[in-house]
């Protein structure tokens, strides 16, 4: 047990990181570690007493070309944190996800030769693309906390200090998720089939993918008018944005769409919507893991800036984009990426999942993967972090 108070810096860039950060803060306190936390966090972390110097949304930029537009702002944030922690150093800096920003921040802290241990919680996808980054990680990161066992195996090959800590959602989401209970929790009819539409949680994602899912919904509605559609919004700004896009669609379709805004600090509306849905169509990202752990039949999609896509395509070293397929090492769910992400193809894939046999097979595969994640031995992230300063 440490006999002094720790000062811990944390930086997150999106809701999933905020969730991990809040859980990590609680874990420190539950283990009797006296610590204060500061940096960049979201509402869940702030509710735990976290001191956030900047709003979390400032880092919510995705894609190579997209980041270039905000590069000056991002550099200013990075430099502001470096200046703050140069004057008043934290003991440990933990970058949660947001690797493009956090790895550069860790490098800047190391260049200052500050007495700060650096941790990257959630490995960047170096095993998938730009594998040369592993050498920079080895030089600037004291510990990588991996969510999946295959990530630790990759780092072991390069002698990078890494710990497999497991994904908290694997144990947090129960093996049994009765859909009727989930529908009741949202006040939905048990007699209606629901399709979840998740175009992402970032402004840019909704701008690009919102029309895609709504156009697909329009196609499905014309053929299957009894189905209802559920769209989650993580905050009021995203709800207003979706409403503005939805305003362009026919009234008979809008009558079949329920837009559900997040109502608590944990930002769980996306998970609640997926849990209550018979079929899930969602943007490729961390939410695909939640859908996998809920065992709901799903299809994933994504569209990037054209230049970003072609650059990424040249660098990607694995055949899949979504976490369920990457974890399985095979195609379990359908991926509609870039030119394949059309309303017609998305509607067709959703229609395939209406088949009881098809949806049951996929759900069983996802259940098996959930059990495998639970079976793997994992370390306690707090213990792994504290080992750096003992």
- H helix or E strand, kind and range, residue 281: strand 279-283
Q: CATH topology for 6-167+377-386?
A: Rossmann fold (3.40.50)
pLDDT at 110: 95
Edge-to-edge, what's the strand order for the sheet holding 334-337?
Answer: 257-261, 228-233, 194-198, 279-283, 298-302, 334-337
Q: What pLDDT does 165 receive?
A: 92
Q: Report the alpha-carbon distance of residue 363 to residue 218 in Å, rounded.
A: 26
CA–CA distance from 376 to each of 118, 170, 370, 372 (Å)?
26, 11, 11, 7
44: Cβ contacts below 8 Å, ≥ 6 apart: 18, 19, 21, 22, 265, 266, 267
DSSP state of 267: -
pTM here is: 0.71
Q: Give the pLDDT of residue 315.
A: 66
Q: What pLDDT sits at residue 266?
A: 59
Question: What is the residue-level pLDDT of the chain in tens, covering all 390 positions?
Answer: 567 899 999 999 888 899 899 999 999 999 999 999 999 999 999 999 999 999 998 886 555 455 556 678 888 899 999 999 999 999 999 999 888 899 999 999 999 999 999 999 999 888 777 788 899 999 999 999 998 888 998 999 999 999 999 888 888 899 998 999 999 999 999 999 999 999 988 888 899 999 999 999 999 999 999 999 999 998 899 999 999 999 999 999 999 999 998 876 556 899 999 999 999 999 988 789 999 999 999 999 998 777 767 766 766 667 788 889 988 888 999 999 989 999 999 999 999 999 999 999 999 999 999 988 887 778 899 999 999 987
Number of neighbouring beta carbons within 10 Å of residue 276: 24
Category of 179 on φ-ψ map: left (φ > 0), alpha (ψ -120 to 50) or beta: alpha
Q: Which CATH number fits domain 172-374: 3.40.50.2000, 3.50.50.60, 3.20.20.140, 3.40.50.720?
A: 3.40.50.2000
pLDDT given at position 376: 73
Full DSSP string of 317-382: -SS--SHHHHHHTS--SEEEEGGG--HHHHHHHHHHTTSHHHHHHHHHHHHHHHHHHHHS----HH
Distance CA 273, CA 276 (A): 5
How far, in Å, are 218, 278, 309 from residue 346 at the CA level?
Answer: 11, 16, 19
For 374, other C-beta atoms within 10 Å of its C-beta total 14
- Measured distance CA(70)–CA(365) in Å, rounded: 40
24/16 Cα distance (integer angstroms) = 12
Torsion sign (Cα): 58, 64, 66, 68: positive
Segments of the chain assigned to CATH 3.40.50.2000: 6-167+377-386, 172-374
């Amino acid at each position: 047990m440490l006999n002094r108070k720790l000062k811990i810096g944390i930086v997150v860039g999106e809701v999933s990181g905020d969730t991990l950060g809040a859980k990590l803060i609680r874990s420190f306190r539950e283990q009797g570690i006296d610590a204060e936390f500061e940096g960049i966090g979201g509402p869940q972390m702030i509710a735990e007493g976290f001191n956030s110097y900047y709003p979390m949304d400032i880092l919510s930029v995705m894609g190579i070309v997209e980041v270039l537009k905000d590069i000056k702002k991002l550099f200013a944030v990075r430099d502001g944190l470096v200046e703050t922690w140069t004057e008043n150093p934290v003991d440990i800096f933990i970058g949660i996800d947001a690797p493009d920003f956090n790895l550069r921040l860790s490098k800047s802290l190391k260049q200052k030769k500050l007495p700060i241990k650096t941790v990257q919680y959630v490995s960047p996808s170096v095993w998938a693309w730009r594998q040369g980054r592993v050498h920079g990680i080895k030089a600037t990161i004291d510990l990588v906390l991996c969510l999946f066992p295959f990530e630790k195996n990759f780092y072991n090959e390069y002698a990078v200090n890494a710990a497999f800590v497991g994904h908290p959602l694997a144990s947090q989401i129960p093996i049994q998720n009765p859909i009727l209970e989930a529908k009741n929790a949202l006040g939905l009819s048990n007699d209606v089939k629901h399709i979840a539409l998740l175009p992402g949680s970032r402004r840019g994602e909704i701008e690009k993918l919102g029309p895609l899912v709504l156009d697909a919904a329009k196609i499905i509605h014309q053929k299957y008018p009894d189905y209802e559609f559920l769209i989650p919004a993580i905050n009021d700004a995203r709800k207003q944005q979706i409403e503005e896009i939805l305003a362009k669609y026919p009234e008979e379709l809008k009558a079949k769409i329920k837009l559900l805004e997040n109502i608590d600090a944990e930002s769980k509306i996306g998970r609640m919507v997926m849990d209550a849905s018979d079929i899930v169509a969602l943007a490729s990202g961390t939410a695909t893991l939640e859908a996998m752990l809920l065992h709901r039949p799903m299809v994933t999609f994504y569209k990037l800036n054209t230049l970003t896509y072609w650059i990424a395509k040249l660098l990607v070293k694995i055949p899949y984009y979504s976490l369920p397929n990457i974890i399985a090492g095979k195609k379990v769910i359908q991926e509609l990426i870039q030119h394949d992400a059309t309303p017609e193809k998305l509607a067709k894939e959703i229609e395939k999942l209406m088949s009881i046999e098809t949806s049951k097979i996929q759900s069983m595969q996802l259940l098996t993967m959930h059990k495998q994640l639970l079976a793997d031995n994992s370390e306690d992230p707090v213990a792994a972090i504290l080992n750096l300063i003992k």
